[in-house]
Structure 1
Amino acid sequence: MKIMTQPAQAKAGIITAAMQRVAELEKLPAETIRAGVAAGTIVIPANINHRNLEPIGIGRILKTKINANIGNSAVASCPRQELEKLNYSVRYGADTVMDLSTGGNINEIRRSIIEHSPIPVGTVPLYEVLARCGTVDNLTEELILQVMQEQAEQGVDYMTIHAGLLRAQVPAAKKRLLRIVSRGGSILAAWMNKFDRENPFYTAFDKILEICRRYDVTLSLGDGMRPGCLADASDEAQFAELDVLGELVSRCRAADVQAMVEGPGHIPFNEVEMNMTRERERCGDAPFYVLGPVVIDCAPGYDHITSAIGATMAAYSGAAMLCYVTPKEHLGLPNARDVRDGVVAYKIAAHAADVALGKPGARDRDDAISRARAEFDWEKQFECALDPEKARELRAEALAERDLPPDHGHGDEQFCTMCGPNFCSIRISRGL
């Protein structure tokens, strides 16, 4: 039986169950979602083999989505720990997860994540390719296609491929302070340099489209030339690759394959808006999926904050999905606690942008928590919080410091330990 992808059905005027569900979640007409999928400005990553998936939409006109990266490395983590990270990601509000495993048990970890994940799962197939072949010397187009076929059969919803990094761009990267910081980008640049051949993801792109069309896999066109520091931001190498990504978006749309475009990692705050606008112009408003961006380089341990600042501006300026950064960025493999901190920081960034843009229903939570504060309804405040556990934790800690029970102060006696009963502005202003 011929599989009709989401865009193929959308172009035929069909509103699928997934499109209908996205419309309900976004509080938008189903026809708006269908038209966006048909045009390629909205993607719904939903592999036909991911059975327990709750579909979501990614696009500039929709609520901003966030992704959490999980996965092991050659020196850290195991399948159990990766499932714990998945659970934390879902629990604290990630809209998608990417399994970026590079160590052992890659296939087992991915299978377990897909089986347990109700949200879309993404991968970077090149990581498994290199893990299998051992060195760049043994990397082949045939192995790339084999791995992508196997991952698609397994149920991966979207795959990052660095097909826009071409051999002609590599000399520009040599002028940089940090050269190429993308793992996939650096691997392919090394392969092209060694064999004096074009990027195999680019030369095999039509075959890759066939695999994606068969399973309705969304392509995330990776930015192998993303800048890894402010000194390399918005340079010749980055924008040369972006132009090629625009070409690949057009080829995806012609083949009825969904595509989004990945964006820069380190960008000065004043260049964020320009980068978002340039992607829209070059890539036909394909959903832009950005890493941060990190707006300063000198705060290791706090990069969930330095990047959330850039992510808010990116989402406000048109980014459709934000890839989280954890406190461990540049320092090590994140654990479950780091995942929580990264997800919450990015939920804040995405939500702030959605409120500012006036997206349907975006401010409902904020108005609800404000009403609860006016009524000193602590439980309702916790329910409305992006991280209810953290709010309860800090409230209990504040009361414990004053030797007060957690349920202290009902009715007019309620207050927080910041102001106390006599300086509580909400209590005082009630009498106005």
Structure 2
Amino acid sequence: MMTQVLKARAGIITEEMEAVAADENLDVEFIRLGVAEGRIVIPRNKNRKEFKYCGIGEGLRIKVNALIGTSSSLDDMEMEARKLAIAEEAGCDSFMDLSTGKDIDGMRKQSLSLAHVAVGSTMIYQAGIEAIEKYGSVVNMREEDIFEVIERQAADGLDFMAIHCALNMDVIKRMRTTGRVTDVVSRGGAFLTGWMLHNQKENPLYEKFDRVLEILKAYDVTLSLGDAIRPGCLADSLDGAQLQGMIIQGELTRRAQEAGVQVMVEGPGHVPLNHVDATMRVQKRLCNNAPYYILGTLATDVTPGYDHISGAIGGALIGACGADFLCYLTPAEHLGLPTEEDVRTGVITTRMAAHIADIAKGNKQAWARDLEMAKARVALNMDRQIKASLYPEPLKAAAVTDNGDHGCAVCGSGCAAQVAAEYFGIA
């Protein structure tokens, strides 16, 4: 099958490339070349109907991913449908269905039927939950079950899939010697680590990576190389285990690219700000400049209930340093499952971080938007301010409460911008 990346290498311009070029206001040849070289991915399963395609990677605006999904403690598919709609309304570019409730297949099909953006998953969740149901424990999971789940989810239409292929016995051995504080915080990584140690076998997703690629290539699913060994606290950032995992991610990235499978790389979690630039440089260097998908970034460990703010701070910096894709954090991080309002807040704060990072990277669209806001404020034009705002609702509310003769509800007739504009004759 001619995947998106193989078409790009053959010089073929696809509808997905054209849509991304138009959205980014870039020449389509720039997009095609980026996809061909593995610096840009456009997640789109061959079985999906048309939706709002998003390009992720070098030279593009930073994209934002949301998370939804049922669990054993909160198994409400109708609520997750509402969360999906809220996430899209707030401006997410994609979302992942991480369901572990009773009807994982049904939930995934519901998500795909409702979504207007790219949809992903972490496949090992379903494989692990089904192993518990069938055999009583994750460690009793059969290798064939893992590959069957990948095939099933790909056939259903998932556009990208987080698969923890870069975890192997060498990484686990390294972790045991580094004095790691939090061990394995990735749920998928924990499932596989437990299975590997109990069965004294190599990770099938690493050992049979070519088989993973065959399935993904058949459906043109974008591989998201899962970060099974990411640091779960600041103290573990850039330790030996993380670096070992990054090296393996790099090796597998190149193999996926050579096979004609689109691939992006998942990155850490908890990273002190002074480690952000080094983390980005090492990851991009090792992974042949593949798009980098950040799970955070959390800049401190001590803000439960406010981790969306910590994540926005870290996300803005790591985005400015070269990250391409930010997974949101909500106020519920480290507390429990997010409410519908948590989902909205998570998307808003992460989009803010992405925009701030785009400004720092010199993105022309981001700069133009901020410049338009500045000019609209000087011109006291509330309609233009509303149009330029990332989230215009607060401005709309302010405009309603204003007395109607001023464009700023904060300082009224004493507005410094208005006085200065009149003085310099530019009012």
> Counterpart of 1:428?
419
**2:263 is the counterpart of 1:272:** no
> Counterpart of 1:343?
347
Q: Does the 8 A contact of 1:301 with 1:329 survive in 2?
A: yes
Going from structure 1 to structure 2, the CA distance change for 1:287 and 1:227 (only over 3 Å counts) comes to same
- Which amino acid in 1 is paired with 2:318? A
> Counterpart of 1:58?
56
**2:369 is the counterpart of 1:365:** yes
Q: Alignment partner of 1:122: what SS?
A: strand
> Counterpart of 1:409?
403
Instruction: Measure the CA separation in 2 of the matches of 1:415 and 1:280.
Output: 44
Instruction: Measure the CA separation in 1 of the matches of 2:12 and 2:408.
Output: 54
Q: Alignment partner of 1:430: what SS?
A: helix
**2:79 is the counterpart of 1:87:** no
Question: What is the TM-score with the length of structure 2 in the denominator?
Answer: 0.94
- Bigger drift between 25-34 and 182-191 goes to 25-34
> Counterpart of 1:403?
none
Question: What is the TM-score with the length of structure 1 in the denominator?
Answer: 0.93
**Which structure 1 residue ranges, 5 or more long, are not aligned?**
397-405
In the alignment, which of 390, 402, 416 is matched to residue 386 of structure 1? 390
Pairing of 1:127-142 with structure 2 (within 5 A): 127-134=125-132, 135-142=137-144
- Bigger drift between 356-365 and 28-37 goes to 356-365
CA-based RMSD: 1.4
The superposition leaves residues 301-337 of structure 1 with CA deviations (integer Å, 9 ceiling, x where unpaired) of 1111111111111111111101111111000101111
Q: Alignment partner of 2:366: what SS?
A: coil
**Which structure 2 residue ranges, 5 or more long, are not aligned?**
none
Pairing of 1:192-231 with structure 2 (within 5 A): 192-231=196-235
Shift of 1:420: 3.5
> Counterpart of 1:160?
162
In the alignment, which of 394, 410, 419 is matched to residue 411 of structure 2? 419
The superposition leaves residues 62-112 of structure 1 with CA deviations (integer Å, 9 ceiling, x where unpaired) of 111111111122101411111111111111111110111112221111111
Q: Does the 8 A contact of 1:27 with 1:360 survive in 2?
A: no
Instruction: Measure the CA separation in 2 of the matches of 1:229 and 1:288.
Output: 20
Q: Alignment partner of 2:252: what SS?
A: helix
> Counterpart of 1:38?
36
Q: Does the 8 A contact of 1:243 with 1:282 survive in 2?
A: yes
In the alignment, which of 97, 100, 117 is matched to residue 98 of structure 2? 100
- Which amino acid in 2 is paired with 1:52? E
Shift of 1:246: 0.7
Going from structure 1 to structure 2, the CA distance change for 1:229 and 1:427 (only over 3 Å counts) comes to same
> Counterpart of 2:172?
170
Q: Alignment partner of 2:266: what SS?
A: strand
**2:325 is the counterpart of 1:324:** no
Instruction: Measure the CA separation in 1 of the matches of 2:169 and 2:210.
Output: 19
**Number of equivalences:** 417
The superposition leaves residues 43-80 of structure 1 with CA deviations (integer Å, 9 ceiling, x where unpaired) of 11000111032211110211111111111221014111
Instruction: Measure the CA separation in 1 of the matches of 2:158 and 2:97.
Output: 10
- Which amino acid in 2 is paired with 1:153? A
> Counterpart of 2:151?
149
- Which amino acid in 1 is paired with 2:11? G
Q: Alignment partner of 2:65: what SS?
A: strand
- Which amino acid in 2 is paired with 1:409? N
Q: Does the 8 A contact of 1:52 with 1:115 survive in 2?
A: no
Q: Alignment partner of 1:361: what SS?
A: helix
Q: Does the 8 A contact of 1:249 with 1:283 survive in 2?
A: yes
Q: Does the 8 A contact of 1:69 with 1:98 survive in 2?
A: yes
- Which amino acid in 2 is paired with 1:65? K
Task: Tell me the percent identity.
Answer: 42
